[in-house]
Amino acid sequence: MTVLLGSPALSGVNFDNTTKVLTLSGETTRPQSLKVWKVLNDEDVRTVVLSGTGGDFYAGIYIGRQFKKHNVTIVVPEGAECISACAFIAMSDKDLVLDGSLLFHVPYRRIMYTNKTMLETAQEYGVAYFDMAIYLVEMGAPLPFGKQLLARTSTCKFYSITEAKQFKKLMTPDKSTSHIWIKHDMVDKCEIMKIKNQLSIGR
């Protein structure tokens, strides 16, 4: 029996009680994270099939911590993309089955408030980046990886990992401050995202 707990087109959370597989897809949101918490506490989840378009960074690291706590196996299926917040979720399983792609970038705000000072804005970003660093250490990734995300990625330029052995290398540093070279590609989705934004504005 499959339990549907959200719209797959937006932020799908689907649990199959026969296979014990939780499928997580779409946008990462706070409501999605609460649904995941409920399934993990009510059901015997053994495997998570993961893909997603990104979304709320804090919802992502909350889900990642829940997956780590429940020691689930995570699979990113062939042809699937796990972007932004989704990629941070995937880090919760060091033995991730990576047949698709992980696309990481720096956390950011979609809206800038004009009534805040530069210092207040910098403080908000600083707290978010500090929280990212804490999460990386908790998951077992080296801190210099976070520095690379801050230095080289943007809202639409991603650090992409497509090979399981490279992900494994990233997640098993000698120590948390190790600089690890891993094979990756820089993926530029700026033009695609610009078109999507124009289409959404035109609705």
Q: Sketch the domain layout of the chain as residue ranges.
A: 2-201
DSSP states along 109-170: -S---TTS-HHHHHHHHHHHHHHHHHHHHHHT--HHHHHHHHHH--SSEEEEE--HHHHHHH
pLDDT of residue 203: 36
Query: What separation in angstroms does the CA of 33 have from each of 5, 56, 114, 201?
Result: 11, 10, 30, 27
First to last CA, the chain: 37
In 3D space, the residue among 40, 64, 30 whose CA is nearest the CA of residue 138 turns out to be: 64
Q: Write the CB contacts of 19 (distance below 8 Å, at least 6 apart in sequence).
A: 47
pLDDT at 192 over 80: no
CA separation for the pair 198, 84 (Å, rounded): 21
| pLDDT tens string 25-43 | 999 999 999 999 999 999 9
pLDDT of residue 197: 61
Taking residues 162-175, report their average pLDDT: 90
pLDDT at 6 over 70: no
pLDDT at 2 over 70: no
- For 2-201, the fitting CATH number among 3.30.530.20, 2.40.50.320, 3.40.190.10, 3.90.226.10 is 3.90.226.10
pLDDT at 201 over 80: no
Backbone torsion region of residue 55, taken as left when φ is above 0, otherwise alpha when ψ lies between -120 and 50, otherwise beta: left
Assessment of whether the complete model's pTM goes beyond 0.85: yes
pLDDT at 194 over 90: no
What does the block give as tokens for 177? 């401050």
Higher local confidence (pLDDT), 114 or 160: 160
